[in-house]
């Protein structure tokens, strides 16, 4: 079961709290929504969602485990047949808490806790589909890159050899041009010295 909250319990003791949560969850599964205090609703949420998770498993061990907590067989049957079927595509978040203001008598903050039985929205389904498609595309591109890698390595080797060959061919021409320009540069430097004197 969920980790117990620190601080004071919801009843006189631990056993009373367990019974209160079991009764609240039975009422929630029977009526699909109940009105209670915010504190009880927050403590009920993980408890009820855990029971819904057991119901989604649907095996005999899970049914017996839930029957150990909720003694009403009719409520357990409804949980395992109707509610589990309604939330089979949902990955969590089976309950919703809505605050409704304070109670008239003692001004306690009140909330409605209800089961979320609507099908998963189309937007969430589209996001899940897009995520899986992106993963497939990434796997395909990785496979294509792995196939193209040997071809790319041979092309790189050929391109590295070509500039070296071209440089070897152009080196004598560059040396000849430098040799022709050197005497002209010396003559220009000598003339500028004469003009300066």
Rounded-to-integer distance, Cα 94 and Cα 79, Å: 12
Q: CA angle, corner 20, sides to 17 and 21, nearest 5?
A: 85
Q: Is residue 97 included in any domain, yes or no?
A: yes
Of 42-56, 57-71, 115-129, where does mean pLDDT reach its minimum? 115-129
Query: Residue 21's domain is classified under what CATH number?
Result: 3.90.1030.10
- The reply to whether 164 falls in a domain is no
The residue among 17, 24, 12, 11 whose CA lies nearest residue 51 is: 24
Among 70-84, 120-134, 163-177, which range has the highest average pLDDT? 70-84
Contact 127, 106 (CB under 8 A): no
Q: pLDDT tens for residues 129-172?
A: 788 888 888 887 777 777 766 555 555 555 555 555 555 555 55
Q: Please, are residues 110 and 99 in contact by the beta-carbon 8 Å criterion?
A: yes
Higher pLDDT, 87 or 189: 87
Assigned domain for 136 exists: no
Q: What is the pTM of this model?
A: 0.60
Helices and strands: H and E segment counts in the chain = 6, 3
Query: In this predicted model, what pLDDT tens digit does every residue of 5-17 receive, in sequence order?
Result: 677 788 878 889 9
Q: Given this model, what pLDDT does residue 109 score?
A: 96
Q: How many domains is the chain built from?
A: 1
Q: What share of the chain is helix, strand, coil (3-state, %, to 5)?
A: 70, 10, 20
Residue 102 and residue 37: Cα distance in Å, rounded?
Answer: 9
143 in any annotated domain: no
Domain range for 109 is 14-120
Tell me, yes or no, whether 103 lies in a domain. Answer: yes
The secondary structure element, H or E, covering residue 126 is helix 122-196
Reported as a pLDDT band with limits 50, 70 and 90, residue 50 is very high
Q: 173 or 88, which is more confident?
A: 88
In a domain, 141, yes or no: no
105 found inside a domain? yes
DSSP structure class, residue 1: -
Report the pLDDT value the prediction gives residue 118, as an integer from 0 to 100.
87
- pLDDT category at 110 given cuts 50, 70, 90 is very high
Low-confidence winner among 66-80, 114-128, 142-156 (lowest mean pLDDT): 142-156
SS3 98: strand
DSSP-based three-state secondary structure for 137 = helix
Residue 151 domain-assigned (yes or no): no
How high is the pLDDT of residue 24? 96
- For the chain, the average pLDDT equals 81
119: confidence class by pLDDT, cuts 50, 70, 90: confident
What percent of the chain is modeled with pLDDT above 70? Answer: 69
pLDDT at 120: 79
**DSSP output for 111-123:** EEEEE--SPPPHH
Question: Residue 88: is its pLDDT beyond 70?
Answer: yes
């Amino acid at each position: 079961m969920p980790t117990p909250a620190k601080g004071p319990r919801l009843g006189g003791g631990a056993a009373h709290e367990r019974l209160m949560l079991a009764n609240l969850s039975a009422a929630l599964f029977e009526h699909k929504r109940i009105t209670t205090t915010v504190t009880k609703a927050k403590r009920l949420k993980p408890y009820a969602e855990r029971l819904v998770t057991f119901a989604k498993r649907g095996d005999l061990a899970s049914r017996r485990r839930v029957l150990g907590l909720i003694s009403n067989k009719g409520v357990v049957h409804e949980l395992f047949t109707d509610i589990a079927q309604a939330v089979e595509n949902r990955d969590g978040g089976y309950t919703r808490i809505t605050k409704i203001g304070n109670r008239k008598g003692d001004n306690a903050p009140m909330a409605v806790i209800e089961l979320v039985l609507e099908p998963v929205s189309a937007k969430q389904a589209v996001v899940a589909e897009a995520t899986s498609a992106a993963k497939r595309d990434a796997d395909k591109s990785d496979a294509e890159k792995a196939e193209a890698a040997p071809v790319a390595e041979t092309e790189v080797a050929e391109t590295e050899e070509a500039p070296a060959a071209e440089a070897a061919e152009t080196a004598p021409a560059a040396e000849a041009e430098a040799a022709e320009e050197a005497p002209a540069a010396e003559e220009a430097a000598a003339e500028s010295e004469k003009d300066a004197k």
